[in-house]
Amino acid sequence: MIRNYTKHIQRNSIRISLFLLLILIFTAAVVFAHGGKAHDMGEFTHLAALKKATELYDKLIDSQKLDPAWETGLDKVEISHRQKGNDTEVVVAFYRDEGEPKTVFIFFTPKGEYAGSNFTGE
């Protein structure tokens, strides 16, 4: 009887140990998992470009350099890269469905520095 009880305790100990190990593995996977890029890459991502361009876009509307209709008539936003000579720029384009001009372009260097803005994309 004592022998059966000892085997039962050993089996439960093994089950509990395996269960705790699985919890540790899943917790570690969640803690160390992250997407996108490494923290030290220093790359100006499309999301960072969108955030920075949106802040500038809001400032242009607040300062009335852009008509307030740009805020209410915004249709879509596109982010792309373009080659300008030997350099590459990140382009954030804000489109509206009514009024002229229909697009505002905001340009950034690959390091995230503001490089200009206009309605022509050039």
pLDDT top residue among 91 and 41: 91
Under the banding of pLDDT at 50, 70 and 90, the label for residue 42 is low
For the cut 50, the answer to whether the pLDDT of residue 9 exceeds it is: yes
DSSP string, 15-72: HHHHHHHHHHHHHHHHHH---S--TT-----HHHHHHHHHHHHHHHHHTTSS-THHHH
What Rg value do the Cα atoms of the chain yield, rounded? 27
Cα separation, 94 vs 101, whole angstroms:
11
Under the banding of pLDDT at 50, 70 and 90, the label for residue 55 is very high
pLDDT digits (tens, 9 = 90+) for 72-110: 888 999 999 998 788 889 999 999 988 899 999 999 999
pLDDT top residue among 57 and 16: 57
The model's pTM is 0.64
Query: Domain map of the chain by residue range?
Result: 1-33, 46-118
Cα separation, 88 vs 97, whole angstroms:
28
Q: What is the mean pLDDT of the chain?
A: 79
Q: Are 104 and 58 in contact (CB under 8 A)?
A: no
Confidence (pLDDT) at 31: 53
Cα separation, 41 vs 103, whole angstroms:
31
Buried b (16+ CB within 10 A) or exposed e, 98-116: eeeeebbbbbbeeebeeee
